[in-house]
Amino acid sequence: MSRPAAQTLRSLAIEALREPDLDEKRRLTRLAGERWAERTLGLSSPTDPTLPSRPGRPAKPDLVSPRSVPRRSVHTVEGRVAMIHALAHIELNAIDLALDIVARFCGQPVPRSFFDGWMMVATDEARHFGLLSDRLAGLGSHYGALPAHDGLWQAVEVTAHDLAARLAVVPLILEARGLDVTPSLLSKLNEVGDPETAAILEVIYNDEKRHVAVGAKWFRFLCARQRIDPARRFQELVRECFRGEVKAPFNDRARAEAGLTPTFYRSLSPLSQ
């Protein structure tokens, strides 16, 4: 049975955010992105559904503490399955993080191109999750077969009050971390003879540069509007809202290509103090 068409970007983003069936979540995300790009959706309406406190999820995987997540190693099939499962979990959260930015902050005085960027991110993340899910199936597994942790969604809760804080923590900390760790992981996967997984990570890595660039662009936009220094404001927000460590080593070149220069993050790393 088909769903009635949502009339606003916010309502369709919330519908996708709430959806527990992951194939349907991906479909709704793509639909929202396509209809927004075609300009057949309004932005929001007073009749939009309520934004959920948590995204829709299937019964599995079990959510556990980070210490209880299976060890990830590229040197065995079981280790690579655990690694791919962890990456799929990250990408699933990334779909919902992008949808939440769209739905939660649609009342902000920002250009429509802000939502163009974040719907591009959401549809990219949906594609990434599909690629990783297919790879798990190729290795005899599936998403939900292993436990996962809930740390990424905590970023929503601590930045729900402030768009600048959300941009600082999600794309400019969490997603930028992928730029740091992926190149060495690609090398290891090629060394152990897994070009299929390496090819997927290559796609994700290149897309992540664009995602960090979207975050950097709009973070700088908000700071320029308030006439404040973006690097200094970034550091203030990270210290206030981010519970983890900003870990070196950094992929300075990839970060700079995305608009995130060392003046933003170097002083936040324990190794730089």
Which residue ranges form the domains of the chain, and what is each CATH number?
7-42+61-152 (1.20.120), 159-273 (no CATH)
Sequence-ordered list of residues with C-beta below 8 angstroms from that of 93, at least 6 positions apart, any chain: 152, 153
177-181 long-range contacts, Cβ below 8 Å, gap at least 24?
177/247, 178/204, 178/205, 178/208, 179/205, 179/208, 179/209, 179/212, 179/251, 179/254, 179/255, 179/258, 180/247, 180/249, 180/250, 180/251, 180/255
- The alpha carbon torsion through 90, 60, 11, 125 (nearest 10 deg) reads 20
Average pLDDT over every residue of 155-168: 93
**pLDDT tens string 15-31:** 999 999 999 999 999 99
188-239: pLDDT as tens digits: 999 999 999 999 999 999 999 999 999 999 999 999 999 999 999 999 999 9
What is the b/e burial string over 5-32, where b = at least 16 CB atoms within 10 angstroms of the residue's CB? ebbbbbbbbbbbbbbeebeebbebbbbb
Mean pLDDT throughout 234-259? 94
Least-confidence region, from 20-29, 154-163, 190-199, 248-257: 154-163
- What mean pLDDT, rounded, does the chain reach? 93
Contact (CB, 8 A) for 106 and 164: no
Instruction: Choose among 240, 273, 138: nearest CA to 197.
Output: 138
With beta carbons less than 8 A apart as the criterion, state whether 136 and 143 touch: yes
Say whether pLDDT at 2 is over 50.
Answer: no
Which residue has tokens 């700071």? 223
Mean pLDDT for 178-190 is: 95
271 falls in which pLDDT band (50, 70, 90)?
Answer: low
pLDDT at 60 over 50: yes
For residue 26, give the amino acid letter. R
Give the predicted TM-score (pTM) of the model.
0.93
